[in-house]
Structure 1
């Protein structure tokens, strides 16, 4: 009997010792010091009305704080991954008074640290950057697609751009596309920046330093709306919808291969037959388009400058960044340099290259991320383009789209929220071309 009881006692003692050796996760403190990235603004513009938000990515609990003397001190946080965001909106009158620069709208400054690994007490400097407020803004992106069997898969994707002013704008020579960046957190075949994103300064034939990462983005694809400068007027508060395929996806269609494709549940998808524009790859020399890439002769085609694949298929898990910009000189855009991915080994001669776009050209930008925190990637866009990110909660094939919030409805002319932080500016809806968020 003594032997029978002695063994469990020894085991319990061993387990107890092992538990004692496991390091305890002690609470940590986080100190945040706010300032403006532009030195001349410090001491001239207030900081204590900024909104600071800290989100625990494990528990999804967010807490908001107001700075005192441009600082926030948070005690007893559980170690882990956090999103840290700060923003402040300065009235256009105050901004003009301090800077001498005319501002048509109030100016919002942002800064963010995404997926910051907080493992010990830390002090961070948060430098707030002013974003560009564009005349056109990205309104709605339907990237998720609809059910693989009962819906339209990814054939019904679309991209919507909004005139966010009180005057007529022309869509002619408006460019849009996706930027390229790290698509997986598991690969280690490229050079990376400290934030985990690709280090384009290490690209072959690159002649600049870190400015290659801070002052430019790299285009995965690029499209241009045609016109002579006054061909496509867009009224104030109105939008244009660019369809991957300008079809009524609620009804069966006969593809360009002669085969009919049925739709089992029309409620899962959308009618894009009245889209403003469509992307059509059937005119690209040597390119065999997908059967669903049917040229709707009633809908103008955008001009394809750079492309991947056989159609404009948006990444439906949500790993794309989107930009829009406007240039009247097409040759200026075509003259932009292009670079291969900064791979650890020299790129092959056939390696795809990516057009280098100055961030100063960007009118509006939107970062999309996967719907689960563990799948999210280092940010592709800086705080002056998009300090946050958006996503649809149900993920791929969910029929959900991200859409910009409505800020003002002035007698039917709708102005959308634009703070250059898509976490704040966007919500999700069931995809609805030309629709608005409730």
Structure 2
């Protein structure tokens, strides 16, 4: 019996040894991925100074810059400091990378945001020399007091979507007049890796393009928004928690929104809430309701400086509108990046960051609720508070970092105030 046990043990040891030897052979046969060394150049373009003149980036702006190489497929992130000559040298494995540069700098007592993104760059071998493939040009943008504070776009469980809303907040220290501001729904309407091509004369990252434009119209001083106050733009102003449809109930009471986006359906009007008119709508106008993608859209706050009108002579191809190269001739709003006060990019899931359509100078990241019809919203993180207790929200032009996902949407969370001129002010 004892001999039989010894034989079993000997056989087990032999099998274990053979298995280990095979694993070692497999490990030796596995392909070894050798790292490569790549150079990456960062150029900061001239920008508009607070007095309206053209300014060049001071040399010290380059001192604090960090270049981040993200390989999302492998889950690898590499950070490298920029050298004084504006070149970063990184040791990475071959692959497809998104490269980002983010910083805030001061100039003439104003804060500027340095935000840059170069997407889907293939690094397959050492790249010591500099060309357009490994160069990122960044346009500094003056920090804006206005921001999109919360977005609820995903819809509620059961497929209800009419309670979508967008909250606009004064994150600065001075009053901002909302007259003429537009809420722009940017192109493409849906996140995609196949971005449209625009005419060469528009350059790179100088414009964004919108499919719809809704405007707060006034005489220039009708709608003051004080620091710590917000306004709410609803798809449809109603108490959706009491509306039952085939898709179930909504989650949000938007009946006391400041504006609703009315697109022509007489049966869906809240007479107590002012209509926010559309001043541009590309293609077929959905008169039943305005709906943004429940997968996540890209939205922007845009200031054209005047009241606009749908179908007016203001809209001219190559100036205020533009057509895609190789397209059908359909026009979209052509918006200079310098006229954008805030932009927020949303994508379907965290794995879809390669589907960005907003230039990195406006938003170098993207927010997501990881799905749709899940009742979640995105809300800016509280960075600090003013002396009166009102919140100051994080706004680094990087929606990945600036927003948190909330299990349920809330209008004016974190003690945000309502403007005194609101019809609902107490």
Give the structure-1-normalised TM-score. 0.73
Mapped partners of 2:385, 2:170: distance in 1: 13
Structure 1 residues 381 and 132, CA gap change in structure 2 (3 angstroms): farther
Residue 433 and residue 116 in structure 1: after superposition, are their counterparts in 2 closer, same or farther (change >3 A)? farther
Structure 1: gaps spanning 5 or more residues: 1-15, 97-102, 187-195, 202-208, 254-259, 283-287
Point out where structure 2 has 5 or more consecutive residues left out of the alignment: 1-24, 48-54, 129-133, 416-426
1:369 and 1:389 in contact (8 A); partners too: no
Query: Does the 8 Å contact 1:35/1:47 carry over to 2?
Result: no
After TM superposition, give the deviation of residue 240 of structure 1 in Å. Answer: 0.8
The alignment partner of 1:200 has SS state of coil
Tell me the equivalent position of 2:178. 171
Does residue 160 of the first structure (1) align with residue 171 of the second (2)? no
Shift in Å at residue 302 of structure 1? Answer: 0.5
Report the counterpart of residue 299 of structure 2 in structure 1.
322
Report the CA distance shift for 1:181/1:240 in structure 2 as closer, same or farther (over 3 A).
Answer: same
Map of 1:10 onto structure 2 = none
Instruction: Tell me which residue corresponds to 1:296.
Output: 270
Question: Could you tell me which residue of structure 2 aligns to residue 116 of structure 1?
Answer: 121
1:190 match = none
Q: Which runs of 4+ in 1 moved over 6 A?
A: none
Cα gap change, 1:401 to 1:184, in 2 (>3 Å) = closer
**1:285 corresponds to which residue?**
none
Aligned partner of 1:32 in structure 2 is: 40
- Kindly indicate whether the alpha-carbon contact (under 8 Å) linking 2:350 and 2:370 is maintained by their aligned counterparts in 1: no
> Following the alignment from structure 2 to structure 1, what is the Cα–Cα distance between the partners of residues 57 and 227?
36
Give 1:115 deviation, angstroms. Answer: 3.0
Q: What's the C-alpha RMSD, in Å, of the aligned pairs?
A: 3.3
Aligned to 1:389: 365
> How many residue pairs were aligned?
366
Change (3 A) 1:38 1:341: closer
Q: Counterpart of 1:81 in 2: which secondary structure?
A: strand
User: Hey, what does 1:412 align to over in structure 2?
Assistant: 389
Match of 2:357 in 1: 380
Larger Rg: 2
2:64 is paired with a residue of what secondary structure?
coil
SS at match of 1:114: strand
Identify the residue that residue 84 of structure 1 maps to in structure 2: 99
Are 1:403 and 1:436, in contact at CA under 8 Å, matched by a contact in 2? Answer: no
Separation in structure 2 between the aligned mates of residue 110 and residue 51 of structure 1, nearest angstrom: 11
User: Matched residue of 1:87: which SS?
Assistant: strand
Alignment of 1:278-289 (within 5 A): 278-282=260-264
**Residues of 1 paired with 2:61 and 2:146: CA distance?**
29
Q: Which of these residues, 148, 152, 157, is aligned with residue 138 of structure 1?
A: 148
